[in-house]
């Protein structure tokens, strides 16, 4: 008789170990507040902290509001109206996700410098505008898929009850998509909290920027870690707000999704719809990519396609290595956790959340947490010779996994969870053990969701700046670091080459993401 | 009493499928409560009951997808209570969505045939598809088949490894009425042809009565009665079984006892103190609802020509030649 009932065997131990390892960096940061260095705090509080808090709150508010309006509006446009090129536009509106804010930022900074003047251009408003344009896809993708999941009957019923088309959308469809929009908004807020590249370009001093300045400026790791606690608190409050917004209501709809809810538009309306859609796309993607390409050509002529560390190939390989390892690690750990965790009921779910903490914590915090945690391990001298985890590729990949494991874990969990229980039960009774059921039935059926999760992790880790900046080991220099170094000296031409490479690697990933979403992958927060 | 239980237990452990005092609790609720039941070799046992009575849970317990809190489950005389589902050799057919959508029909049917060599596997696939009257569909995908065809494939897949028993969980519930009758006949024929032992879970009393060699009626997690269809129909164990299996009326027969009568066992004679309050046309018969002077309500069927209008006065009489079941009313 084989043991088949979920027990607390090796799987359980593995789950606990993974969760502890993943949560350690965050725990280390939170722990640092237990022994605060009051002097640093007093100094910060008297000088820069109030300003940082004001800037952070202002920026988060503007960007979240803007991204919700733009993202929901665009999703509404491509869902409610039928026009030539609607399908193409609806896909292309996702592509800004491949262009980091710090790239979009310097392109528009330079473009607007002449008309606005060098001083006026570096404002919190423009910074917010850039972040809105680069982050709206997070709201857009959630709102769009929520709209798509709603039954056209809902709108028909609303309209037969005497509502105009717009009123039907505004009063019925949008409220039903509220939880999805809230999830997207929370992601945007998180991205603003974690941003260090864009805000630096526009001289906006947020808390994340402050953490980095303390880290690099004073070298006081403890002070940086303590300042990072502010970010943790902010991120945690955000999650609570989002949970509250979601409420207890269930918004799923039963019944068949038949037909499209879109109605054709013609004439002036069609022009307006097209101008808005393609206009946003131009600002977010077309203009930046064209400018980058022209700069890159100039860089080619000037022979500026390399850094002192190495040529373009070296940097591309660095980026691919980090993003590749991080993606593989996230997939392997995420899949394992899904399959072990689900058999442990609420404890499994709780451990899953613990391991996913890193995603709810801004990049600089994770980075500092990883450094502190790894340094503590290094001091134990468990490894022979001079092997150190701090400053190793493994350390950087570890930080990426801490930061993005949640994306993989939730994505894989959602798509494996959608596999019909009847199919799984049938497979079991047909003589397949757990492993065979997983490899032959569940994973193949969850393929689209797994690919979506993988591409999201890959895109995120490709763009990730703060973690890379703080943890890059000697001999590995991913593209974002090059962009950062060039832009901090306003060398746009030099920055264009790595920026264009990030976009070039990111676009096929976005295509894969769209492909999998089309095949029913869930994008989850 | 003790002798009875011992006989039941002996029967259960030597049967194709046996359950002895099986209880399954979810929280404080006993979803399956002290069930002792056997499915005999090559028998089709229909397990019927209202939704939520625990019949699907009972089936999942037999399949090993859930574990009983207490009791013993045997298959072919072997105790499988602690055996993993993949080692039990039972076949499962669900209501829907149970085929592997990413595999062809052939690969679906072959899923349980790992120990077969290539040639025998191919033979068995053909044999099974032949059995369910879907020859030549091996390379099709499930979504290319109709709902009824998918259920046939599901049965072929379940039968392919020669399981000790086939468990069918509401296999016809999602099909159109017209398709359902045909599929029912085909599936029962296929089960008989393979000489399979089968347990059919359904909430449809007509289905249970029509298909089952025996019918087990379940309520609140417990088996109320198990017997041949004609016996549970005409000699129900209690009012619940009687009412669940079809329309019936209770006729007081004095000394606190009642007789259970089906609508066709009564007839209407004109004149009297009974009154028709409602009637509906049922094709072969008119079904009348009658209120008697003492307030009791009776359901009576009458062929067209012998029917009465709503409001008409009449007398309800028992038709000659029908033996009625007697119940002490609790």
Would you state the pLDDT for residue A250?
46
- What average pLDDT does the segment A158-180 reach? 72
Closest-CA residue to A378 (of A366, A368, A365, A390): A390
Would you state the pLDDT for residue A221?
75
Would you state the pLDDT for residue A2?
34
pLDDT at A3 over 80: no
How close B89 comes to chain A (CA, Å)? 7
Pull the structure tokens for residue A454.
């993988």
Closest-CA residue to A192 (of A213, A209, A177): A209
- What average pLDDT does the segment B312-319 reach? 89
pLDDT tens figures, A431-454 = 888 889 999 999 998 888 899 889
How close B222 comes to chain A (CA, Å)? 24
B43 close to B16: Cβ distance less than 8 angstroms:
yes
Residues contacting B14, CB < 8 A, separation 6+ = B77
- What average pLDDT does the segment A218-223 reach? 76
| Among B84, B97, B98, beta carbon nearest to A4 | B84
pLDDT at B194 over 60: yes
Would you state the pLDDT for residue A1?
31
- What average pLDDT does the segment B33-53 reach? 93
Higher pLDDT pick, A192 / A118: A192
Would you state the pLDDT for residue A502?
95
For residue A356, report the phi and psi dihedrals to the nearest 5 degrees.
-95, 0
Residues contacting B210, CB < 8 A, separation 6+ = B184, B229
B3 close to B190: Cβ distance less than 8 angstroms:
no
- What average pLDDT does the segment A179-207 reach? 88
Pull the structure tokens for residue B257.
């006892």
pLDDT at A6 over 50: no
A450 close to A494: Cβ distance less than 8 angstroms:
no
- What average pLDDT does the segment B245-254 reach? 83
Closest-CA residue to A41 (of A225, A212, A209, A219): A225
B226 close to B17: Cβ distance less than 8 angstroms:
no
Would you state the pLDDT for residue B95?
83
Would you state the pLDDT for residue A360?
74
What residues of chain A lie within 8 A of the CB of B98, using their CB?
A: 420, 422-423, 425-426
pLDDT at B330 over 70: no
pLDDT at A524 over 70: no
How close A424 comes to chain B (CA, Å)? 8
For residue B111, the chain A residue with the least C-alpha distance is: A430
Lowest mean pLDDT segment, chosen from A293-302, B10-19, B285-294, B303-312: B10-19
Across chain B, what does the average pLDDT equal? 89
Higher pLDDT pick, A377 / A500: A500
Would you state the pLDDT for residue B179?
84
Would you state the pLDDT for residue A257?
46
Inter-chain residue contact A426 with B158, CB threshold 8 Å: yes
Q: What is the largest CA-CA distance in chain A?
A: 79
Residues contacting A240, CB < 8 A, separation 6+ = none
Pull the structure tokens for residue B157.
């897949």
How close B91 comes to chain A (CA, Å)? 6
- What average pLDDT does the segment B255-280 reach? 88
Lowest mean pLDDT segment, chosen from B87-91, B154-158, B176-180: B176-180
Would you state the pLDDT for residue B50?
92
pLDDT tens figures, B201-214 = 999 999 999 999 99
Across chain A, what does the average pLDDT equal? 84
A223 close to A32: Cβ distance less than 8 angstroms:
no
Tell me the range of A259-273, B162-176, B243-257 where mean pLDDT is highest: B162-176
pLDDT tens figures, A52-82 = 999 999 999 999 999 999 999 999 888 888 8
Residue A154's pLDDT band (cuts 50, 70, 90) = low
- What average pLDDT does the segment A220-229 reach? 80
pTM of the model: 0.81
Closest-CA residue to B238 (of B228, B223, B221): B223
pLDDT at B6 over 70: no
Which residues on neighbouring strands pair with residue B91, listed in sequence order?
A: B166
For residue B90, the chain A residue with the least C-alpha distance is: A429
Q: How far is A461 from A505, CA to CA, in rounded Å? A: 12
Would you state the pLDDT for residue A258?
45
What residues of chain A lie within 8 A of the CB of B90, using their CB?
A: 429
Higher pLDDT pick, B22 / A244: B22
Inter-chain residue contact A422 with B83, CB threshold 8 Å: no
Residues contacting B196, CB < 8 A, separation 6+ = B42, B91, B159, B163, B165, B166
| Among B65, B102, B163, beta carbon nearest to A425 | B65
- What average pLDDT does the segment B90-118 reach? 90
Would you state the pLDDT for residue A80?
81
Strands B44-48 and B198-202: what pairing? parallel
- What is the percentage of chain A residues whose pLDDT exceeds 70? 89
Tell me the range of A156-160, A411-415, A503-507, B83-87 where mean pLDDT is highest: A503-507
Residue B134's pLDDT band (cuts 50, 70, 90) = very high
pLDDT at B170 over 70: yes
What residues of chain B lie within 8 A of the CB of A444, using their CB?
A: 102
Number of Cβ pairs < 8 A linking chain A and chain B? 82
């Amino acid at each position: 008789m084989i043991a088949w009932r979920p027990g607390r065997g090796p799987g359980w131990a593995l789950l606990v170990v993974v969760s502890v390892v993943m949560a350690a960096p965050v725990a280390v940061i939170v722990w640092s507040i237990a022994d605060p260095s009051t002097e640093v705090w007093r100094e910060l509080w008297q000088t820069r902290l109030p300003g940082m808090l004001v800037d952070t709150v202002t920026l988060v508010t503007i960007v979240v509001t803007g991204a919700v309006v733009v993202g929901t509006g665009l999703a509404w446009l491509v869902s409610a109206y039928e026009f030539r090129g609607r399908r193409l536009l609806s896909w292309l509106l996702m592509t800004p996700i491949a262009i980091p804010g710090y790239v979009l930022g310097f392109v528009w900074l330079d473009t607007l410098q002449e008309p606005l003047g060098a001083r006026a251009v570096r404002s919190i408003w423009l910074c917010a505008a850039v972040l809105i344009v680069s982050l709206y896809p997070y709201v857009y993708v959630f709102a769009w898929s929520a709209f798509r999941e709603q039954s056209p009957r809902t709108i028909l019923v609303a309209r037969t009850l005497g509502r105009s088309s717009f009123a039907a959308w505004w009063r019925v469809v949008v409220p039903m998509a509220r939880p999805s929009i809230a999830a997207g908004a929370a992601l945007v807020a998180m991205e603003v909290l974690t941003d260090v590249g864009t805000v630096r370009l526009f001289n906006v001093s947020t808390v994340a920027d402050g953490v980095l300045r303390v880290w690099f400026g004073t070298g006081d790791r403890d002070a940086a870690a303590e300042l990072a606690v502010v970010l943790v608190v902010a991120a945690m409050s955000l999650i609570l707000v989002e949970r509250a917004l979601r409420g207890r209501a269930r918004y799923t709809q039963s019944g068949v999704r038949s037909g499209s809810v879109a109605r054709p538009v013609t004439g002036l309306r069609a022009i307006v719809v097209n101008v808005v859609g393609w206009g946003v796309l131009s600002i977010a993607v077309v203009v930046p990519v064209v400018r980058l390409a022209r700069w890159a050509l100039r860089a080619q002529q000037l022979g500026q396609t390399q850094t002192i560390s190495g040529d373009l190939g070296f940097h591309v390989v660095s980026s691919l290595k980090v993003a590749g390892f991080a993606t593989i690690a996230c997939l392997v750990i995420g899949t394992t956790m899904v399959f072990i965790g689900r058999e442990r009921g609420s404890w499994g779910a709780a451990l899953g959340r613990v391991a996913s903490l890193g995603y709810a914590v801004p990049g600089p915090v994770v980075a500092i947490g990883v450094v502190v945690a790894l340094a503590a391990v290094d001091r134990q001298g468990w490894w022979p010779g001079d092997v150190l985890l701090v400053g190793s590729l493994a350390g950087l990949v570890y930080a990426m996994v801490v930061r993005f494991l949640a994306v993989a874990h939730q994505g894989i969990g959602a798509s494996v969870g959608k596999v019909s229980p009847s199919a799984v039960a049938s497979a079991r009774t047909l003589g397949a053990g757990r492993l065979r059921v997983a490899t032959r039935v569940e994973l193949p059926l969850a393929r689209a969701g797994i690919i979506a999760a993988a591409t999201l992790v890959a895109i995120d880790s490709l763009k990730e700046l703060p973690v890379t900046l703080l943890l890059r080991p000697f001999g590995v220099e991913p593209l974002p670091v090059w962009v950062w170094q060039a832009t901090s000296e306003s060398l746009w031409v030099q920055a264009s080459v790595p920026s264009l490479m990030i976009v070039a690697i990111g676009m096929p990933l976005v295509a894969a993401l769209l492909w999998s979403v089309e095949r029913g992958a869930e994008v989850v927060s | 009493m003790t002798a009875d239980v011992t006989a039941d237990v002996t029967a259960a452990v030597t049967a194709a499928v046996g359950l002895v005092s099986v209880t399954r609790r979810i929280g404080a609720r006993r979803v399956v409560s002290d069930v002792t039941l056997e499915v005999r070799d090559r028998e089709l046992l229909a397990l019927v009951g209202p939704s939520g009575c625990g019949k699907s849970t009972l089936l999942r317990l037999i399949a090993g997808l859930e574990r009983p809190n207490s009791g013993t489950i045997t298959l072919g005389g072997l105790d499988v209570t602690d055996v993993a589902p993949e080692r039990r050799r039972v076949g499962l057919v669900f209501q829907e969505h149970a085929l592997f959508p990413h595999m062809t029909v052939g690969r679906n049917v072959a899923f349980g045939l790992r120990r077969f060599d290539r040639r025998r596997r191919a033979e068995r696939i053909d044999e099974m598809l032949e059995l369910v009257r879907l020859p030549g569909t091996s390379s099709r995908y499930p979504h290319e088949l109709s709902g009824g065809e998918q259920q046939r494939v599901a049965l072929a897949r379940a039968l392919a490894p020669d399981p000790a028993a086939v468990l069918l969980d509401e296999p016809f519930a999602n099909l159109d009425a017209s398709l359902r009758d045909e599929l029912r006949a085909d599936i029962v024929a296929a089960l008989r042809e393979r000489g399979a032992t089968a347990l059919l879970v359904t909430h449809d009393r007509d289905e249970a009565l029509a298909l089952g060699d025996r019918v087990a009626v379940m309520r609140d997690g417990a088996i109320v009665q198990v017997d041949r269809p004609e016996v549970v129909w005409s000699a129900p164990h209690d009012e619940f079984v009687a009412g669940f299996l079809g329309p019936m009326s209770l006729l007081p027969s004095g000394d606190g006892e009642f007789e259970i009568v089906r609508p066709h066992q009564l007839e209407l004679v004109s004149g009297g103190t009974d009154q028709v309050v409602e009637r509906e046309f049922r094709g072969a018969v008119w079904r009348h609802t009658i209120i008697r002077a003492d307030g009791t309500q009776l359901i009576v069927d009458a062929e067209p020509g012998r029917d009465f209008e709503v409001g008409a006065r009449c007398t309800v009489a028992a038709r000659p030649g029908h033996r009625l079941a007697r119940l002490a009313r609790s």
